Amino acid sequence: MEDKITLSHGSGGHKTSELIAGIFKKNLDNEYFTADDAAVMPAPEGKIAMSTDGFIVSPWKFPGGNIGKLSVCGTVNDIACMGARPLYLTCSYVIEEGFAVSDLEEIAKAMGETARKAGVKIVAGDTKVAGKGQVDGLFITTAGVGVIENEVNLSGAFAKPGDSIIVTGDVGRHGCAILLARDEYGIEADVTSDCAPLADPALAVVSKIPETHVIRDATRGGVGTVLYEICDASDVGIEIVSDDIPVDPAVRGVTGLLGLEPLYLACEGRLVIIVPSEFEDKAIEILSAYEETAGAKIIGRVTDDHKGKVVMKTSIGGMTFLPPPGKELLPRIC
Amino acid sequence: MNEAATVLKSYKGPKIRIMEVCGTHTHEIFKLGIRQLLSDDIELISGPGCPVCVTSADYIDEACWLAREKECVITTFGDLVKVPGIKSSMIKERGQGAQINVVYSPQDAVLFAEKNPDREVVFLSVGFETTTPSDVIAVKYAKEKGIKNFSILTANKTMPRAYEVLADSTDCYLYPGHVHAITGTADCKAMLAKGTSGVIAGFTGPELLTALAVAVKKCQEGEPFLVNCYPRVVREEGAPAAMRLVNEFMEPCDALWRGIGVIPMSGMKLRDEFSEFDARVKFAIPDMKEEYKTPCRCGEVLQGKIKPFECPMFGKACIPDHPVGACMVSDEGACSAYYLYGGLIDNGR
């Protein structure tokens, strides 16, 4: 195979077949993977959850992952947040002419590995090649289907006053890793993206605590944006404790230098979970058993007061609003 | 720190007005929720120490003119981009094709100029004593490297004359720690000699609480005072090397402070021998001065005469996404801080 992607790789002819066999089938193969027009799988019993997500992250490779891993985690986590076990994914690539075939292979390899780890099968795909300059490197869109195994009913609108708010690990690492990978600020720090598939811990929580009210994936906009969305959707207030929010020291250092709030930096492997307070210890115990969520912490609770606002208890005992989201911190983070 | 918190909460007596001069202090005070830790008899006034907020509207128009008419690449700290001028703003100019680059350091601006010798690059040199040395270092670099396509548009300001002008608005200044890290304590001592009290404060929660508690204790004693509560950073002599550098390249001039007016000899401009790096001279910028008519009451906010929420525009026509006055633009502006963090208790206290 050539070492650069050319327009003919997206033409549907033998070059496309070569790419599918040499890169995609090799890395993503499973019993349903098809080069036919559609994949055919057995239908799961009960309700299904379905989601789709596009990925345009720049740079495509960063400490802790690449766009391929991210594109699997993103859709897997979205499905898991509805209490569904992800089963099947499809993926659609738009590749810039001239993209290195070896890089594409690295991306496909990461997708295969992440899919196997997440227990999900990539069953169909599409490849388009755009002329030089028409896309930046490579864009991926994934779509996925999952099955709701246990009778659960989760939504950002179900938070109740008194509930406990859990974040499943330190916040803002993905956004910070991307920011550093771009090397625009001349800052060096050892920060790895938190990008990870989270279906296993999420489903463990909902199966053992069916009373769980909310599970949300804190991606673009970070944990802060998710908290504000929950405030609005559930018509409640939220109180968090500044000292209880886990932040990696390197992330704190970088955000301190640049004047950014870690709660508003993207995560790609962190959930916000809201459970009635009597289940908070049990939830932490369940999450602690999984590597990706071992750093889970209770960061605050849902209140009846100051509806629609996130209030933060500061390190010196004062109370302040978490400024509402809205500022564009960093484009193209996922 | 607990002792400081007790002093601040339990104070009862004549009202004490403390003006935090520095925008970063304003921001941190809100972010840490310090206002709710204070007794009702302690009032914090947000003064004019946010460089973006006191940058005049015609300065913005000058920058826009350079971008539009001279096709200069404007390099600037991000906050300035949204500040409305009279005729235009940089965000509008950018929408019409002007090149406005946000930088984190003046050095990035001069390096950009070095790499792009076919473009004229102008750095918007605003800020107080803390930032001026880094602006000068960029000019020095350009001079040494013979970079001909770099210049700065100065609106640098200095604090001492502003302290004098606003002395009646406050019982005690919370002096900006980072300004005095450069200039030392002499200016504060001069204010003390005129009967104006102050504490030099750091920026962390414990540092701010301590400085405020010292101010309250000292105010109760009744004599004018000056206490350096930030000794780990602020030395009596300041940073002489930085001051020498600035004085080598710049000299004092009158400066227009948005909302306050002209304060004589409160600005800094490049000396004549460095005029090749002075964008005003290099491009012969026409006089932009025009009466600035607006219902915005930023000026009174900056002088501590009103609180942001007493302005009729506040939170209505003027919000961080659509600032009318400069105090709403920067995160360090008093109005922006009140808008983002206020409202928890007692209408933004």
> Residue A223: which of A113, A325, A315 has the closest Cα?
A325
- CATH classification code of B1-11+20-286: 3.40.50.11740
Q: Tell whether A116 and A172 lie within a shared domain.
A: no
Largest Cα separation within chain B, whole Å, is 65
pLDDT tens for residues A178-196?
999 988 777 889 999 999 9
- What is the sign of the dihedral through the CA atoms of B175, B178, B181 and B182? negative
Two tokens at A333? Answer: 């983070």
User: Which residues from A are below 8 Å from B36, CB to CB?
Assistant: 318-319
Instruction: Report which of residues B330 and B115 the model is more confident about.
Output: B115
Average of per-residue pLDDT values in chain B? 90
Single residue among A114, A148, A182 that ends a domain in this structure: A148
Chain B 283-312, CB below 8 Å of chain A: which residues?
none
Residue A331: per-residue pLDDT? 66
Residues with Cβ < 8 Å from A185, sequence gap 6 or more?
A: A179, A257, A258, B104
Nearest to residue A160, comparing CAs of A57, A72, A235? A235
B34 vs A: CB within 8 A = yes
Q: How far apart are CA B190 and CA B196, in angstroms?
A: 9
Per-residue DSSP letters for A3-23?
SB--GGGGSSSHHHHHHIIII
Do A323 and B340 lie within an 8 Å CB cutoff? yes
CB contact (8 A) between residue A320 and residue B33: yes
Task: Tell me which of A287 and B2 has the higher pLDDT.
Answer: A287
Residue A81 clears pLDDT 80, i.e. is over it: yes
State how far the alpha carbon of B203 is from the alpha carbons of B16, B32, B88, B228, in Å: 21, 10, 35, 13
Classify the phi-psi angles of A82: left when phi > 0, otherwise alpha if psi is within -120 to 50, otherwise beta: alpha
Judgement on whether residues A117 and A171 belong to the same structural domain of the protein: no
For residue A153, is it within any domain?
no
The domain boundary, picked from A148, A181, A210, lies at A148
State the pLDDT confidence band at B191, using cuts at 50, 70 and 90. Answer: very high
Whether A328 shows a pLDDT value over 60: the answer reads: no
| CA distances for B99 relative to A185, B95, B104, B122, angstroms | 19, 9, 16, 11
pLDDT above 90 for B149: yes
Which chain A residue is nearest to residue B332, measuring alpha carbons? A259
Per-residue pLDDT, averaged over A88-115, amounts to: 96
Vertex A216, ends A213 and A217: CA angle to 5°?
160
Least confident range from B89-93, B156-160, B211-215: namely B89-93
In a domain, A21, yes or no: yes
Any idea what DSSP says for residue A190? -
pLDDT digits (tens, 9 = 90+) for B60-99: 999 999 999 999 999 998 888 888 888 888 888 988 999 9
User: Which chain A residues contact residue B323 at CB under 8 A?
Assistant: none
Q: Please tell me the pTM assigned to this model.
A: 0.84
Within this chain, do residues A268 and A122 fall inside the same structural domain, yes or no?
no
Rounded to whole angstroms, how far apart are CA atoms B344 and B348?
6
Which chain A residues contact residue B343 at CB under 8 A?
321
Q: Which of A98, A120, A148 is the last residue of a domain?
A: A148
Residue B89 C-alpha from the chain's centroid: 19
- Does A259 reach chain B within 8 Å, measured CB to CB? yes
How close A310 comes to chain B (CA, Å)?
Answer: 11
* A241, A263, A319: best to mutate for the B interface, most B CBs within 10 A: A319
Taking phi first (over 0 means left), then psi (-120 to 50 degrees means alpha), and beta for anything else, what does residue B222 get? left
Gap between the Cα atoms of B130 and B110, Å rounded? 19
Q: Which pLDDT tens digit goes with each residue over B265-278?
A: 999 999 999 999 99
Give the Cα separation of B151 and B143 in Å (integer): 10
- Say which residue the tokens 């990539």 belong to: A122
Share of chain B above pLDDT 70, in %: 97
Reported as a pLDDT band with limits 50, 70 and 90, residue B53 is confident
Chain A CB within 8 Å of residue B3 CB:
no
CB-based contact (8 Å) between B9 and chain A? no
Report the alpha-carbon distance of residue B237 to residue A243 in Å, rounded.
Answer: 37
- Residue A15 pLDDT > 70: yes
pLDDT (0 to 100) of residue A137? 95
Lookup: tokens for A23: 């890169």
Asked whether residue A330 is assigned to any structural domain, the reply reads no
Would an 8 Å CB–CB cutoff place A321 in contact with chain B? yes
Is residue A137 located within the same domain as residue A179?
no
- Which pLDDT score, from 0 to 100, does residue B344 have? 58
Query: Do A245 and A299 fall into the same domain?
Result: yes
Q: Which residue of B has its CA nearest to A306?
A: B344
- Strand-strand pairing, A271-275 and A214-217: antiparallel
| Domain contains A239 | yes
The interface predicted TM-score (ipTM) is: 0.73
> What token pair was written down for A57?
């992250």
| Chain A residues touching residue B209 (CB < 8 angstroms) | 316
Q: Are residues A179 and A109 in the same domain?
A: no
Q: Test A320 with B30 for CB contact under 8 angstroms.
A: yes
* Structure confidence at residue B51 (pLDDT): 84
B343: distance to nearest CA of chain A, Å?
9
State the smallest CA–CA distance between residue A184 and chain B in angstroms. Answer: 9
Asked if residue A130 belongs to a domain, the reply is yes
CATH number at residue A136: 3.30.1330.10
Question: Is the per-residue pLDDT at B349 higher than 50?
Answer: no
Q: Is the pLDDT of residue B346 over 70?
A: no
Q: Does A42 touch chain B (CB under 8 A)?
A: no
Q: For residue B205, give the nearest of A306, A316, A323 by CB distance.
A: A316
What's the CATH number where A268 sits? 3.90.650.10
C-alpha atoms less than 13 angstroms from C-alpha of B49 in its C-beta half-sphere: 27
Which stretch of DSSP H or E encloses residue A56?
none
Q: What is the per-residue burial (b if ≥16 Cβ within 10 Å, else e) of B46-67?
A: bbbbbbbbbbbbbbbbbbbbbb
Cβ <8 Å between B32 and A323 = no
How far is A58 from chain B, CA to nearest CA, in Å?
Answer: 19
Domain count for chain A, please give it: 2
The whole domain housing A256 covers 164-321
Q: Do B205 and A259 touch (CB under 8 A)?
A: no
Tokens of B327: 């105090």
Q: For chain B, what are the domain ranges?
A: 1-11+20-286, 298-337
